[in-house]
Amino acid sequence: MTESTTPVIAIHDLHKSYGQLEVLKGVDLVAPRGHVVSLIGSSGSGKSTLLRCCNLLEDSQSGEIKFEGEAVRWKGEGLGRHPADRDQVTRMRTNLSMVFQQFNLWSHMTILQNVMEAPVTVLKRDPKEVEEKARGYLAKVGIADKADAWPAMLSGGQQQRAAIARALCMEPRALLFDEPTSALDPELEQEVIKVIKALADEGRTMILVTHDMKLAADVSDHVIFLHKGKIEEEGAPADLFGNPKTERLRGFLSAGA
């Protein structure tokens, strides 16, 4: 495969347990370059756990995870399995920026400082260059005028857009969104959805865990419906939302209608 055809993230037969509780039961996921993959399903289906396994925030017990064709190296087995190479983990994580439900902005830093922090301290980039890029990303998400504000001075929607700017400033190969709008009221939710749609239109690689079926339908190239740790159904959004094949997916969609 050439670099352009190698998926940014490829997961095969992934199993994840918390003690005796098996949360992921042999899941496959492929995120090609420039594609948006959405994970949907009821609470407890394993969506967020799968996303955290992508970013190696969670250790899985078996299965393969590849980032741009490079397989994560493991040591140990089962519940004792952990990544074998911490440098590899750090390198992969810096290329997979995650946006959480709860914005996770540092309250003692201005918005600009929040956005600049990781590129300067983790990637050791020049602060002047990072500041220029950070201000550009704040403008991209529509809050350039909030650069010198403190997080507590911003609405939830503005804070989440700042978190997206912070993720973009790492200039990652992929963006991972874990229910990015679930903590927001409907009006503020639309601010964030607009930004996510714009990023999708730019052709950015994204994996999106969302409860918003309209957002998943609008931005996704591929949708995965998880049920009790397994992929119940997957495919193009037009197929999953327009013609669901399984009873479980039909029930899930009708319950949210």
| 141-167: average pLDDT | 96
Q: What is the mean pLDDT of the chain?
A: 94
Report the first-to-last Cα separation within the chain, whole angstroms: 41
- pLDDT (mean) for 152-166: 96
pLDDT in tens, 80-122: 999 999 999 999 999 999 999 888 899 999 999 999 999 999 9
* CA distance linking residue 46 with residue 52, whole number of Å: 10
Strands 206-209, 21-31: pairing is unpaired
The sign of the CA dihedral 72, 76, 80, 86 is negative
Cβ burial 131-150 (10 Å sphere, 16+ → b, else e):
bebbbebbebbbbeebbeeb
Q: For strand 62-67 and strand 9-18, is the pairing parallel, antiparallel, or unpaired?
A: antiparallel
Distance CA 152, CA 159 (A): 9
Number of other residues whose CB lies within 10 A of the CB of residue 225: 25
Burial 12-31 (b: 16+ CB within 10 A, else e): eebbbbeeeeebbbebebeb
Question: Per the structure block, which two tokens stand in for 248?
Answer: 């479980």
Residue 2 has pLDDT above 80, yes or no: no
| Contact between residue 116 and residue 144 where contact means Cβ atoms under 8 Å apart | no
The arithmetic mean of pLDDT across residues 141-156, rounded, is 96
**How large is the greatest C-alpha to C-alpha distance in the chain, in angstroms?**
55
Structure tokens at 9: 């993230």
The yes-or-no verdict on residue 257 having pLDDT over 90 is no
Output the pLDDT for position 55: 93
- What string of DSSP letters covers 142-174? T-GGGTTS-GGGS-HHHHHHHHHHHHHHT--SE
Which tens digits make up the pLDDT trace of 160-216? 999 999 999 999 999 999 999 888 888 889 999 999 999 999 999 999 999 999 999
- CA neighbours closer than 13 Å in the CB half-sphere of residue 54: 32
Which residue, 219, 180, 166, 164, is CA-closest to 197? 219
Q: Quick one: angle between helices 156-169 and 127-140, nearest 10?
A: 140
Residues constituting the chain: 257
Q: Is the CB of residue 161 less than 8 Å from the CB of residue 184?
A: no
